[in-house]
Structure 1
Amino acid sequence: MSELLVDKRGHAAWLTLNRPERLNALNTGLKAELVAAAVDVTLDPEVWVVVLRGAGGRAFSVGGDLKDMHARGRAATPMIEVERNVYEAVLEIPKPTVAVVDGYALGGGCELAMACDLRVASDDAVFGMPESHRGMGANFGSVVLPRLIPRAVAMEMLYFGDRVPADRARELGLVNRVWPKAELDERVEEWVAELLTRAPLTLRRYKEMAGKGWEMPVPAHLRLNAGPNPYLSEDRAEGAAAFAEKRPPRWQGR
């Protein structure tokens, strides 16, 4: 069975890390499948939203598979390997991405969640960057985490490697929603369904503008003009017509 399950339903692609017996640890094969899936959903015009989750209910992902690293005789050095970096591939999907964290999101698993635009969690979810306990580097996390939450808190998480429960993660702004574990699947389905009622070109525009201009000066950022142009789209005309006619819009993504 594939280590990554891909389920396209309507305009959403649901990607499920499928190594529950290893708490969805990221081995070489799973990372390769994730990169390939990131390319596929990027190129598929029928996919408007991407959801990333873990199988089994115990973990989103506990990060890099240390047994896999040991068997290969070395750990991968980020950004200089032949293979594309999996976190970068997910980060650069030009459509809204949602990480659904049920259980542990540790190390590379936490980084994978950070690569998504939105993060929702079960009330028993736990986040952490334990690389300082393992002699690893958390290359992606050390760059992105201080941009997502207050810098001093991010550095404490990185330095000490302590675990952060879901409620605290939400307080810090690392997580958007926390729901009871028994209700997680239903709540996520509803949240994604609501997101899909928003204009897809507008969402893509937001992602491109916010991401590509992350640290640009405001005057330059305002002139970036990244992503699809919703102002001249058929969807913009449809949105105005739907408002005037008091009906839900019928988006086409063009």
Structure 2
Amino acid sequence: MADTARRTDDLLAGLPVPGARSPGQGERAAGAKNTARAARSRFMAAHGEEVYDRLTDGRTRHLRLRELVDAAAREFPGLVPDAAQLAQESARPQADKDGREIDQGIFFSRLLGSPLAGPHLMDAMLRPTDRALRLLPDFRRTGFADLGSVTLERRGSAAHLTMCRPDCLNAEDNEQVEAMETAVDLALLDPAVHVGLLRGGEMTHPRYRGRRVFSAGINLKSLHAGRISLVDFLLRRELGYIAKLMRGVLVDHETSWQSRTIEKPWVAAVDTFAIGGGMQLLMVFDRVIAGSDAYLSLPAAQEGIVPGAGNFRLGRLAGGRISRQVVLWGRRLWASEPDARLLIDEVVDPAAVGAAADAALERLDSPAVVTNRRVLNLAEEPPEAFRAYLAEFSLQQALRLYSEDVIGKVGRFSAGCAAPPA
């Protein structure tokens, strides 16, 4: 494997960037990369669990995604891109990258597919981040944390998590995923918090100035510029803060013998729209409230990428036909139409969203709610089923990131943080 990878690297080093290659150069590069990826896939199929045990000292260390792939680059040359290769790729727009993240997709797909390595890796990602642990004492004292693209405020026993990227309609990028996971950790770790709320803040975008917006999904401008990471965005998002919203944070606590994680109920308040990743988020919340003028959409086919775990959850919530209409056909679900009630619990006048959210927080503030949501989630989404989905998602999403149709589409969509069509 290492020799094949080295020959491929030597070939690529002598060629122009992908966007400037001739058809013949492109074919030679593609052939070499395909050969190297086949070798990596065979190696991981045969030795993936041994690789994981070596990197984690026999599963005694809990390495997060980034730590794990960085360690693999050092310990197993040629298996995944090293720091220098990643730095070179990160400086390029998406169209001029050689897709080295696909090698990371192969790596994580095999690990998540393993019944030994996969659950251990998922547990590692449920642990609190170092940043959250550093900020926790101050948050417990002040009840407030400004994380840049996200703010967290404790009001009574409720944590109000507000997404505040007003220029981009709360479109997510690597930095926002980091901030979201930190905020979710803080809310879960603070014993004074019993329940959480997620809502979008007021926008400065010309079309929506002064209005609250939930989320416009992935930041396509960042994707076009090559700043959306497979590891730090697409995989971390699913295994990090979204998994914690559903399963809780894994940390030693007084009643660890009762439950491995600290879990809390969560409410989502949707203003204006929840697009793409915003709609995906709603599928793990215990109660979803929306303004009557809001809509949901999951434009995966239009963008060309896989909508996270949306494909895994949407069919269970809304049924197979609606799933296909939304994901494959681009159907919008308006909060006011009957089918939207499969994803939204309560539709209110737009001016009443805040009051309805406060009432929901008060009602969900109960120990019995925590216990019941835990067993509901276990019955509805067994961890092993989620792990199997993510094993396939890791590779397929990596391939989609570097497909010609996606690169062409994000180039057209990314003139700025464009507003969704009216």
User: What does residue 246 of structure 2 align with?
Assistant: 91
User: 5 Å matches for 1:111-126?
Assistant: 111-126=280-295
Q: CA deviation at 1:83?
A: 9.2
Is 1:48 the equivalent of 2:178? Answer: no
User: What does residue 380 of structure 2 align with?
Assistant: 214
Q: What amino acid does structure 1 have at the position aligned with 2:380?
A: W
Instruction: Say if 1:32 and 1:74 are closer, same or farther in 2 by CA, change over 3 A.
Output: closer
Distance 1:203 1:6 in 2: 22
Is 1:183 the equivalent of 2:337? Answer: no
Q: What amino acid does structure 2 have at the position aligned with 1:62?
A: A
Distance 1:82 1:174 in 2: 20
Distance 2:221 2:321 in 1: 32
User: What does residue 63 of structure 1 align with?
Assistant: 217
Q: CA deviation at 1:84?
A: 4.6
Which ranges in structure 1 are unaligned for 5 or more consecutive residues?
217-254
Q: What amino acid does structure 1 have at the position aligned with 2:266?
A: T
User: What does residue 230 of structure 1 align with?
Assistant: none
Is 1:21 the equivalent of 2:167? Answer: yes
**Deviating more after overlay: 174-183 vs 36-45:** 36-45
Q: Is the 8 A contact 1:169 1:175 kept in 2?
A: no
From 108, 112, 126, the equivalent of 2:277 is 108
Q: Deviations over 1:19-69 (max 9, x none)?
A: 122111111111111111222222222211110000123420011111122
User: What does residue 332 of structure 2 align with?
Assistant: 163
User: 5 Å matches for 1:68-83?
Assistant: 68-72=222-226, 76=230, 80=235
Q: CA deviation at 1:213?
A: 2.5
Other structure's SS at 2:310 match? helix
Q: Is the 8 A contact 1:79 1:85 kept in 2?
A: no
Distance 1:112 1:72 in 2: 24
Other structure's SS at 1:91 match? helix
Q: CA deviation at 1:76?
A: 2.5
Q: CA deviation at 1:88?
A: 2.3
User: What does residue 239 of structure 1 align with?
Assistant: none
Instruction: Say if 1:129 and 1:58 are closer, same or farther in 2 by CA, change over 3 A.
Output: same
Other structure's SS at 1:90 match? helix
Q: Deviations over 1:135-159 (max 9, x none)?
A: 1111310001111112221222111
Q: CA deviation at 1:79?
A: 6.6
User: What does residue 149 of structure 1 align with?
Assistant: 318
Q: What is the TM-score normalised by the length of structure 2?
A: 0.47
Instruction: Say if 1:125 and 1:7 are closer, same or farther in 2 by CA, change over 3 A.
Output: same
Q: What amino acid does structure 2 have at the position aligned with 1:104?
A: F
Q: Is the 8 A contact 1:59 1:104 kept in 2?
A: yes
- The higher relative CO (CA closer than 8 Å, separation ≥ 6) is in 2
State the structure with more CA Rg: 2
Q: Is the 8 A contact 2:287 2:360 kept in 1?
A: no
Q: Deviations over 1:112-137 (max 9, x none)?
A: 22221211000111100001101111
Q: Is the 8 A contact 2:151 2:183 kept in 1?
A: no
Q: CA deviation at 1:214?
A: 2.0
User: What does residue 39 of structure 1 align with?
Assistant: 185
Instruction: Say if 1:39 and 1:82 are closer, same or farther in 2 by CA, change over 3 A.
Output: closer
Specify which structure has the higher proportion of strand.
1
Other structure's SS at 1:22 match? coil
Distance 1:171 1:79 in 2: 26
Specify which structure has the higher proportion of helix.
2
* CA RMSD of superposed structures (Å): 2.3
Q: What amino acid does structure 1 have at the position aligned with 2:244?
A: A
Q: Is the 8 A contact 1:99 1:113 kept in 2?
A: yes
Is 1:202 the equivalent of 2:357? Answer: no
Which ranges in structure 2 are unaligned for 5 or more consecutive residues?
1-145, 203-210, 249-262, 383-422
Is 1:6 the equivalent of 2:152? Answer: yes
Distance 2:235 2:176 in 1: 19
User: 5 Å matches for 1:240-251?
Assistant: none
